[in-house]
Structure 1
Amino acid sequence: MEQNEITMRGFNGALTYHVWMLSCTEEWVHLYNDLFIDHEETLFSNEDLWPYSTDIESNNYSTCYNPQTRSQLFEFATEVPESTLVRACLHSDRTLSEIECDFFVLKVRNLLLQQTLERYWHENDAWLEGLHSLTSMLELEELLNNIMHNVLIAIPTVDLGFLMLYDDETQKLTPKASFGFGPTIYDFKTSIGEGVGGKVFQDGIGRIFNTEQGLEAMTNVQENNMKSLLAAMGVTVITNTIVMAVPVRMNEEKIGVIIVHQITNKRKLTNSDLRRLQGFADQVAIAITNARLFSKLKETNGYLVKRNHIHEVFTKLSLKDSDLNMIAKTVERMINLPVSLFDITKNEWYPHYTPLSKKLKNTDLLNGWEDSVDTLRVTINETPVHLYPIVNEGIPIGYFVVELQRLLSPIDTVVLEQGSALVALKMVNVYSMTDMYYKQCYEFFNELLHYREPNLLASKSRDFGLSPDKPLFVTVMQLSGKVQVVGKRETYQRKLIATLHNELASFQYLLFGFQDKVTIIVNVTSESQQEDAMQKLENVGNLWANKDAPVLTGGIGGGYQGLEYVARSFKEANKSLSYISNRGTTGIINYDNIGINRLFINQQTEDIRQFIQEVFTPLQSPKAQSSNLDLTLRTYIAANRSIPETAERLHIHQNTLYHRIRKIEEILEVDLNDSSDWLKLLLACHLSSLY
């Protein structure tokens, strides 16, 4: 207010007066914006000038006349807006009468009341305007940015403030909006019960803290938080600061706290200010809740729009019959991260030339995860990747491999989900076509086994990639054990077929899978090429033995010239397969390498073991064992009946050996010089090493 003049009855003319009030920081604040004159400035340098006892008997004020300044000085308490000391100075040439003093004090009280009412109406209008502004906002970010601005409009007696919201994830009160603070205020993240805000949030009750109370409440603030707060306020020490804080709550749920600071000489903060701030905070809670609901609704709507767009993109790819390379590229473009598609059954990458594919091509990508139908996060060659399974009938047949340069968003997962569905459909269609082709191969193979109409078969063989005039051999491979689910068995069979295709890429061949077996007819032009082809087939067996997969066994038939020998080579391949299966071993064996064991392929294993037992059981008696007769006989056979070599191997004298041989002949009732007896023992010894 400007310098004021007051006219009263009994005064000659107009008198000039000044009014001061005791501020919240216990300093006297001049209520008007006069230019002080020297003698007015000295009024407060000498407290003795002011009246502490009444010169005029009154219960409402104290007053005295100061002839030096030619002023009547007053001191009294006002209850508006709350109990506060007031000092007033009225310029006069004489001491005022009691009536004049009463009138003056009444006039000042009236002016203070008018000022308070005007301020209340102004602040109330600002408060209502702020509430309207809040309730009209639905964008959460915009709302948060305007909250503190509206607080300072509604309660102009504060200078700066900030809003903190509780974060469930970090369990911290985190600043979300501020006014008057520096940027480091957003590093001021406190626990429940920490500092002024933490205590008010914990108690759920708004409070006004004077400087002493505020400093006491801040004693448990962590050092890093205190540094952030001081830097935000631009001070090194907090002094003469009044703090008001209220909880922000929706119904019974506390969601945050509003904290405001008064650091300049203004009127004292009152309970009315506290109630107004709490009312504002309650409206803030409603506005934030509405904004969050709107944001969630908007996000959900946006998510649905994006999901629909994603569905449209992959539907178009499906209608265009796009290949796996195009699908993988589309997924990569839509999630904006490096993506490759890995086909488990073919052990093949799409696209194969991308940096990610090259980086992972020679790695054991799915070590231990081949059967997983869940998404996985693994690190390969120091590269974190996300594996999204492509599943058919509960069996993984491939994976999208995403290089995790950032965390995946929900919409990224939708892209992978839609992409994997299209890839699965594409791969299953390929499987169906492949199965139809294998069926045709199977039917043609059966025609070859019966070998009727040779000319027609020769013509058909060319359609299946064979040359009827070139030598050929047949191989049969079988997967057994570990697989109970048909779908998994088919997946492993496709893996095996893909491996065989890679190994036999340089040969002419016919290949098909049927049930748990894979049958192959291979054309060769020379013995060396046949040996090369057989070696590649054995390599497949060696590679398969290192996998956590069903047991692979295989038999290779002999090589022959002409399609009429397919049945013969096939029969030999099956005999080889039976031989290795009966032995309980794995791998792939060539029929030519079986030798004399061909004679026993079709013999029952139990019959062979019974024969071995009948021959050697007599040598298992305690007396025979004490002389090591079983070992002696086996060593004698292995040394081809050489006495010196057998004795040397057994570390015994030759005479001792002769003695043992006679005992063996007596116990077994044989003559080792008889060719028939010798053949029986030799055969039993050979078979015991196999069965």
Structure 2
Amino acid sequence: MKQNEMTMRGFDGALTYHVWMLSCTEEWVHLFNDPLTDHEETLFLNEDLWTYSSDIESHNYSTCYNSQMGSQLFEFAMEAPTSNLVRACIHSGRALSEFECDYFVLKVRNLLLQQTIEQYWQENAAWLEGLHSLTSMLELDELLNNIMHNVLIAIPAVDRGFLMLYDAETQKLTPKASVGFGPSIYDFKTSLGEGIGGKVYQDGIGRIVNTEQGLATMSNVQENSMKSMMAAMGVTDKFPNILAMAVPVRMNKEKIGVMIVHQITKKRKLTHADLRQLQGFADQAAIAITNARLFSELRETNEYLVRRNHIHEVFTKLSLKDSDLIMIAKTVERMINLPVSLFDVTKNECHPHYTPLSKKLKDSELLNGWEDSVDTLTVTINEIPVHLYPIVNEGIPIGFFVVELQRLLSPIDTVVLEQGSALVALKMVNTYSMTDMYYKQCYEFFNELLQYKEPNLLVSKSKDFGLSPDKPLFVTVMQLNGNVQVSKKLERYQRKLIAALHSELKSFQYLLFGFQDKVSIIMNVSSESQQEVAIQKLENIVELYKNKDAPVLMGGIGMVYQGLEFVARSFEEANKSLAYISNRETPGIISYGSIGLNRLFISQQVEDIQQFIQEVFAPLHSPKAKSSDLELTLRTYIAANRSISETAERLHIHQNTLYHRIRKIEEILAVNLNDSSDWLKLLLACHLSDLY
């Protein structure tokens, strides 16, 4: 009621009046006019004052005049909207007539009905505002705060409230909107079954709780959360006397959160009608949350599509400009705003090599067995968490984007890496194609050198291929041996080998090409010492392959010759050297000059050589011969160059025992160790058994 409505005219001037109503909690609530002083309130609420017989007979009210107060007192019942007992007094200064009493009671009833109608209008307006919010607002925080404000308007018996939503990640209920609480309410987080909100969310049943019930239900709340709640309510040591209502927020059968309201100042008892009304607002909130989430998802999807289209346009422009790998890597880095390096598996290098990330990755075992992975990986390299995004060609990784994970990657980051990897793959495959064309030309020229039909033309063409026809040269053949089932994997290993060779031999003049599982090199050297340096570099590469999960690398080196006409001879020697080391099944590289006597056996079948060894030593494999260690004695005798004393010393036997064993060996093998032919046969068999 406005202040000017708190007086009544029609009497002898303006008279002040007061009205009370008995609440559901059996307490009298002062409704109209200025608040009473403590003395007036004590006086007016004195029950003895109201125990009287009506001076005026009426079935609608009881009344009497109190001369001590100079006021006419009334008591009557209101039937609508609910049945409530009403008390009123008017400072009349005299006893009112029956007509005046009827008029006053009618006036008070009218004011109370107006108040009820206004309350209904407020509640209706709150509902309409809530419905309007559902269609006019899509910003979730603003919408939820608006709904909570409407709750307090529609349910005037409550003073404050807050809304909690369930966070599946933390598995806690977290406040998202509040009215009448301090900011620390947003630190009040509860688990399922914890506190009033946790209990209501768990059970899915709304409830009204008094202070005693509330304290019991809040007893399991964590200490930090409870402190946040107390601070939000403006108290520190004692939980205030409050009534509370809490209802679940759910969409269909899915529980989303909890809505909680408090009554601090007693107005009336909270009823199930209030609980149903609160549930209605909770249902509004559920609809609002669902709409906002759908809108957010739609907006995110739209933004994702727009950004994806933009990303596609950026990389399309890079493709049309024929941008290099460094530019592509820089573009990816700029678009995801994280350090990015592009690792080329073939060349075993990063692009660009000068960035902080590339420097951190330098000299690291970057792939560490992951080079065959076509899936994304998150690993730690040199204590740096990185994301490896593979660049794949026909099912085989040829490179990786290496992203330093200063944060988690978003879906749009993955799109950037996806588009960037496609462009890089195209760029690298085009480069491979051009390189393969060049190697094909090298292969054709090499075959012309082997045939050596037009010397003058070959001299001219050799200069085009980076060779000096007037300098000495030699040929090297390297081969990748191993069970590589997938041809594309073998191709990748060969490209890696060629890249390593280019890196090691960049200070030399050479022609290099790959064919199937072999790499052939013609190299110019000006001196024996320069050839030794070149061979050392080739050995370095072979050494790198010994500890890697890759095919075994072997190589053969031909002799140095002056003139292009000797390419064929050096090439044949390189192949013989390769065959020699391949038969031994030992990784490494060997030059034709270091094979020595073994050149005589390079063309022999391994089976024939093993059969010869078996035929020579088989008689010494009988049980009787083995018991006397005759084969060991013969091998030691040969190794000691037929020295009796040295052989006996090595075998830790007496010289007479050695003489006895030698005679036994000669008898069993039917040889004479002093015969040069027999001695050569045994010496050769022993030598070959060490090799085969």
**Range class of TM-score, shorter chain:** over 0.9
Mapped partners of 1:446, 1:631: distance in 2: 50
Aligned residue type for 1:652:
I
What residue is the counterpart of 1:381 in the other structure?
382
Conserved? CA contact 1:467–1:523, under 8 Å: yes
Distance in 2 (alpha carbons) for counterparts of 1:239 and 1:58: 45
Q: In the superposition, relative to structure 1, how do residues 643 and 238 fare at CA in structure 2: closer, same or farther (>3 Å)?
A: same
User: Would the alpha carbon gap of residues 529 and 546 (structure 1) be closer, same or farther in structure 2, given more than 3 Å must change?
Assistant: same
Is 1:154 aligned with 2:154? Answer: yes
Answer with 14-23 or 111-120: which moved more. Answer: 14-23
1:250 is displaced (CA, Å) by 1.9
Shift of 1:616: 0.8
TM-score (norm 2): 0.93
Amino acid in structure 2 at the alignment position of 1:517: K
CA deviation map 1:467-520 (0-9, x unaligned): 111111111111121311011110111111111111111101111110011111
Matches within 5 A, 1:517-596: 517-596=518-597
Residues 1:144 and 2:144 aligned together:
yes
- Please tell me whether the aligned partners of residues 6 and 33 of structure 2 are also in contact (alpha carbons under 8 angstroms): no
User: Is the 8 Å Cα contact of residues 139 and 294 (structure 1) preserved in structure 2?
Assistant: no
Structure 1 unaligned spans of 5+:
none
Contact 1:19 1:87 in 2 (8 A): yes
The residue that corresponds to 1:131 in the other structure is 131
Distance in 1 between residues matched to 2:516 and 2:269, nearest whole Å: 91
Other-structure match for 2:654: 653
Alpha-carbon contact 1:162-1:176 (below 8 Å) kept: yes
1:618-640 deviations in whole A, cap 9, x for unaligned? Answer: 11112112221111100000000
Change in CA separation of 1:66 and 1:528 when aligned onto 2, cut-off 3 Å: same
Would you say 1:683 and 2:684 are equivalent positions? yes
Give the superposition deviation at 1:422. Answer: 0.2
Judging changes above 3 Å, is the alpha-carbon distance between structure 1 residues 323 and 344 closer, same or farther for their aligned structure 2 residues?
A: same
Gaps of 5+ in 2: none
Give, in whole Å, the separation in 1 of the partners of 2:76 and 2:68: 22
| TM-fit CA distance, 1:562 | 0.9
Question: Residue in 2 aligned with 1:360?
Answer: 361
In structure 1, the partner of 2:168 is 168
Residue in 2 that maps onto 1:369? 370
- Evaluate the alpha carbon distance shift between residue 217 and residue 642 of structure 1 in structure 2; reply closer, same or farther with a 3 A threshold: same
Residue 194 of structure 1, CA deviation: 2.3
Contact 2:346–2:499 at 8 Å: present in 1 too? Answer: yes
**Higher mean displacement: 79-88 or 602-611:** 79-88
Cα drift, residue 131 of structure 1 = 1.8
Match of 1:196 in 2: 196
Kindly provide the amino acid, as one letter, of the partner of residue 295 in structure 1. Answer: S
1:633 matched to which residue of 2?
634
Contact 1:207–1:244, Cα closer than 8 Å, also in 2: yes
Aligned residue type for 1:303: Y
Partners of 1:364 and 1:319 in 2: how far apart? 35
Displacement of 1:179 after TM fit? 1.8
1:177 & 1:378 partners in 2: Cα distance?
A: 40
Counterpart amino acid of residue 20 in structure 1: W
Tell me the residue number matched to 1:511.
Answer: 512
Matched, 1:235 2:235: yes
- CA displacement 1:99-156 (0-9 Å, x = unmatched): 9888866654443233112211232123212321332223334423433233334334
* Letter of the structure 2 residue corresponding to residue 496 of structure 1: L
For residues 641 and 690 of structure 1, the distance between their equivalents in structure 2, rounded to whole angstroms, comes to 21
Q: How far apart are the structure 2 equivalents of 1:547 and 1:287?
A: 60
DSSP 3-state at the match of 1:31: strand
Conserved in 2, the CA contact under 8 Å of 1:21 and 1:29?
yes
User: What secondary structure sits across from 1:368 in the alignment?
Assistant: coil
**More displaced 10-residue stretch of structure 1: 511-520 or 12-21:** 12-21
Q: Which moved more, 1:467-476 or 1:125-134?
A: 125-134
Q: Measure, in 2, the Cα distance between the counterparts of 1:297 and 1:400.
A: 30
Write the letter of the residue equivalent to 1:558. Answer: M
State the SS of the aligned residue for 2:625: helix
- The separation in 1 between residues aligned to 2:168 and 2:627, in whole angstroms, is 81
Give how far 1:262 is off. 2.3
* Secondary structure of 2:614 counterpart: helix
Q: Distance in 2 between matches of 1:423 and 1:561?
A: 44
Moved more, 174-183 or 560-569: 174-183
> Within the alignment, does 1:226 sit opposite 2:253 as a pair?
no
Deviation by residue 1:655-674 (Cα, 9 ceiling, x = unmatched): 11111111110110000000
Deviation, structure 1 residue 202: 2.9
Letter paired with 2:158 = V
1:118 lines up with 2:115 in the alignment? no
Between 143-152 and 98-107, report the one with greater CA deviation. 98-107
Match for 1:381: what amino acid?
N
Name the counterpart of 2:259: 258
Partner AA of 2:460 in structure 1 = S
Spell out, residue by residue over 1:28-52, the C-alpha distance to the aligned partner (whole angstroms, 9 max, x if none): 43212425357513326x7454547
Cα distance, 1:177 vs. partner? Answer: 1.6
Query: Which region of structure 1 is more displaced relative to structure 2, 128-137 or 345-354?
Result: 128-137
2:20 alignment counterpart: 20
Deviates more, 1:423-432 or 1:478-487: 478-487
In structure 1, what is the Cα distance between the partners aligned to 2:663 and 2:486?
58
Shift of 1:270: 3.7
In the other structure, the counterpart of 2:341 is 340
- Given that 1:54 and 1:61 are in contact with CA atoms closer than 8 Å, whether structure 2 keeps it comes out as no
**Deviations 1:145-204, CA, capped at 9 Å, x for gaps:** 433233334334432222222223333222212222222222222223322222332333
- AA aligned to 1:667 is I
Q: Which shows bigger deviation, 314-323 or 367-376?
A: 367-376
1:204-227, Cα deviation, whole Å (9 max, x unpaired): 333333333333332332222212
Map of 1:448 onto structure 2: 449
C-alpha contact 1:466 1:508 (8 A) present in aligned 2: yes
Q: Counterpart of 2:553 in 1: which secondary structure?
A: strand
Q: How far is the alpha carbon of 1:373 from its aligned partner?
A: 0.8
CA contact 1:25–1:240 (8 Å) conserved in 2: no
State the one-letter code of the partner of 2:548.
K
How far, CA to CA, are the matches of 1:15 and 1:319 in structure 2? Answer: 92
Partner Cα distance (1:228, 1:25) in 2: 31
Tell me the TM-score normalised to structure 1 length: 0.93
Stretch moving more, 670-679 or 268-277: 268-277
Match runs of 1:493-504 below 5 Å: 493-504=494-505
1:32 corresponds to = 32
Higher mean C-alpha deviation, range 491-500 or range 291-300: 291-300
Q: What CA distance in whole angstroms lies between the structure 1 residues aligned with 2:632 and 2:19?
A: 126
After TM superposition, the structure 1 stretch with the greater mean CA deviation from structure 2, 642-651 or 677-686, is 642-651
Q: Which residue is equivalent to 1:435?
A: 436
The more displaced of 177-186 and 654-663 is 177-186
CA distance in structure 2 between the aligned counterparts of 1:357 and 1:178, rounded to whole angstroms? 50
| Letter of the 2:306 counterpart | V
Matched residue type, 2:635? R
Range with greater deviation from structure 2 (585-594 or 220-229): 220-229
Distance in 1 between the 2:183 and 2:25 partners? 27
Matched residue SS, 2:496? helix
Q: What is the number of residues matched between the two proteins?
A: 688
Distance 1:79 1:464, change over 3 A: farther
Q: Which segment is superposed worse, 490-499 or 291-300?
A: 291-300
1:13, 1:338 → 2: CA distance?
86
Change (3 A) 1:554 1:26: farther
Instruction: Give, in whole Å, the separation in 2 of the partners of 1:649 and 1:98.
Output: 146
CA 1:579 to 1:18, structure 2 compared with 1: closer, same or farther past 3 Å? same
Deviates more, 1:423-432 or 1:123-132: 123-132
| Structure-1 residue corresponding to 2:307 | 306
**8 Å Cα contact 2:145-2:179 kept in structure 1:** no
CA separation of 1:13 and 1:505: change in aligned 2, threshold 3 A: closer
The DSSP-based 3-state class of the residue aligned with 2:32 is coil
Deviates more, 1:430-439 or 1:195-204: 195-204
- CA shift for structure 1 position 651: 1.1
Matches within 5 A, 1:176-195: 176-195=176-195
* 1:316 matched residue in structure 2: 317
- Contact residue 147 and residue 281 of structure 2 kept, 8 A: no
Task: Indicate how the Cα distance of structure 1 residues 514 and 606 shifts in structure 2: closer, same or farther if over 3 A, else same.
Answer: same
Residue of structure 2 in register with 1:349 after alignment: 350
